[in-house]
Amino acid sequence: MAACAEDGCERPAAVRLHVPWDANREVCTAHARALVQQDGIVAEPLSGAGENWE
């Protein structure tokens, strides 16, 4: 499993964020919770990452 795409984060990625104004990226659940609150960002759970939902 890949690590979170956010700088300095070592947690496993569990969510793919579709960001209309930037590249899509895979992040941990903690970063996904914060980032998905921005208008236009859509979160998609990664297949097989269920154990990483914290």
pLDDT greater than 70 at residue 53: no
According to the model, what pLDDT value does residue 47 have? Answer: 83
For 29, list phi and psi in degrees, rounded to 5.
-65, -35
Domain coordinates in residue numbering, the chain? 15-52
- 1-50: pLDDT as tens digits: 789 999 999 999 999 999 999 999 999 999 999 999 999 999 999 887 76
pLDDT greater than 80 at residue 52: no
Taking a C-beta distance cutoff of 8 angstroms, is the pair 36, 44 a contact?
Answer: no
